[in-house]
Amino acid sequence: MKSKSRRLSAVDLLLIVLMILPFVAGIVLKVLTAPPSEGISITGARVYFTIPMPIQDLPITEAQVNSVLVLISIFALCLFMTRGLKVKAESKRQHAVEWIVEKVEGLVNENMGEMFAGFAPFIAAIIALSALSSLSTLMGLYPPTSDINIVAGWAILVFILITYYKLKGGLLYYLKGFTEPIFVMTPLNILGEIATPVSMAFRHYGNVLSGSVIAVLIAAALQGLSSLLLGWLPGALGEIPFLQIGLPAILSVYFDIFSGCMQAYIFAMLTMLNVSGGFPEDEYEKRKQKKLLKKQKKLQMNH
């Protein structure tokens, strides 16, 4: 019984392969389409092909593809983790997945309150997508989070959620909120409202992109320094950038791993705080009670 549960079944293996395959595919795709290197260049995502669309053509870029690959990988991970769940937890897998779910729910409950308990999967989605996207750079992929369009999409979704929950206090109450504390502040308030998603998007995108840019700059600088200091070495030895060994890896720990996870956490945190912070709880309760009263009155009238 125990050896059976410990051994991976064919489906488990398939799911693990499905988890890893997207990244492998991404790397292969990148290697196949990579142009010959011409020194250092800092550009946006590579465009694979462009689909003509109304308003604006849609270029299918590396960032887009990688984003979808990460999505598929997370999906496979989900299926893998939730396989063979039992009421009496036996496997480490189940302990891990329960720990994750409880942690996320605890985080959401702590920051948003009981009313927003349904947000837990959404927050988990943000953290997972953002962190894994940023971490995909470790495998040499173009991190989707360093494309403004990707992060902007998330930020706009968050903005929609913020506005949706603000409107729960009533449209009038929502509009009145812009004129506070004094009427003159209205333009600033509107600006502030729009600034939230913009700042969220740019913060995330900028952090990840700047990490990549700094990594490229430092690598290039080290290459230059290496050829300057060690160029006298005979033959091919002189062309090997020895100084590039070590330092970029250490910087990668900060820029790719730490910063990537940090930005994911910050984005999730800001989402939680902005959505629950903008929600007018008192007004919502008042409206709820008013509606209830109206309903009761209607019922009485009908009787």
Partner 1 sequence: MQSLDIISVNLWQILISLVNLLLLFLILKKFLFKPVKKVLEQRQAELDAQYASADRAEALADEHRKEWEEKLSTANAQADAILQSATENAKYRGDKLIAEAQDRADGIIRAAETEAQLERKKATDGIKREIVEVSGALTEKMLEREINTEDHRALIDSFIEEIGDGNE
Q: How many Cβ atoms are within 10 Å of 17's Cβ, its own excluded?
A: 11
CA angle (274 as vertex; 271, 276 as ends), nearest 5: 100
What are residue 60's phi and psi, to 5 degrees? -85, 110
Site string for partner 1, 142-181 (x = CB under 8 A): -----xxxxxxxx-xx------------------------
Asked if residue 85 binds partner 1 (CB under 8 A), the reply is yes
Q: Report, in Å, the least distance between residue 194 CB and partner 1.
A: 15
Contacts by 279-285 with C-beta closer than 8 Å and gap 24+?
Answer: 279/115, 279/116, 279/165, 279/166, 279/168, 279/169, 280/166, 280/168, 280/169, 280/173, 280/177, 281/115, 283/169, 283/170, 283/173, 284/168, 284/169
Asked if residue 184 binds partner 1 (CB under 8 A), the reply is no
Asked if residue 68 binds partner 1 (CB under 8 A), the reply is yes
Asked if residue 106 binds partner 1 (CB under 8 A), the reply is no
Report whether the peptide linkage leading into residue 121 is cis, meaning its omega lies within 30 degrees of zero.
no
Asked if residue 64 binds partner 1 (CB under 8 A), the reply is yes
Asked if residue 264 binds partner 1 (CB under 8 A), the reply is no
CA distance 92 to 17: 20
Nearer to partner 1, 12 or 177 (CB): 12
Asked if residue 218 binds partner 1 (CB under 8 A), the reply is no
The answer to whether residues 174 and 189 touch, using CB atoms and an 8 Å cutoff, is no
Nearer to partner 1, 243 or 270 (CB): 270
Task: Quickly tell me which residue has 């079944």 as its tokens.
Answer: 9
Nearer to partner 1, 157 or 257 (CB): 157
Q: How many residues bind partner 1 (CB under 8 A)?
A: 56
Q: Report, in Å, the least distance between residue 185 CB and partner 1.
A: 29
Given 19, 135, 200, 209, the residue binding partner 1 (CB under 8 A):
209
Q: Report, in Å, the least distance between residue 154 CB and partner 1.
A: 5
Q: Report, in Å, the least distance between residue 118 CB and partner 1.
A: 8
Asked if residue 136 binds partner 1 (CB under 8 A), the reply is no
Q: Which SS3 state, helix, strand or coil, does residue 92 take?
A: helix
* Positive/negative CA dihedral, 56, 60, 63, 69: positive
Q: What size, in residues, is the chain?
A: 303
Nearer to partner 1, 49 or 232 (CB): 49
From residue 167, give the alpha-carbon distance in Å to each of 111, 280, 281: 20, 9, 11
Q: Report, in Å, the least distance between residue 94 CB and partner 1.
A: 8
Chain residues that interact with partner 1, rule: CB under 8 A: 33, 35, 42-48, 53, 55-56, 58-59, 61, 63-64, 67-68, 71, 74-75, 78-79, 81-82, 85-89, 94, 97-98, 100-102, 120-122, 124-126, 128-129, 147-154, 156-157, 209
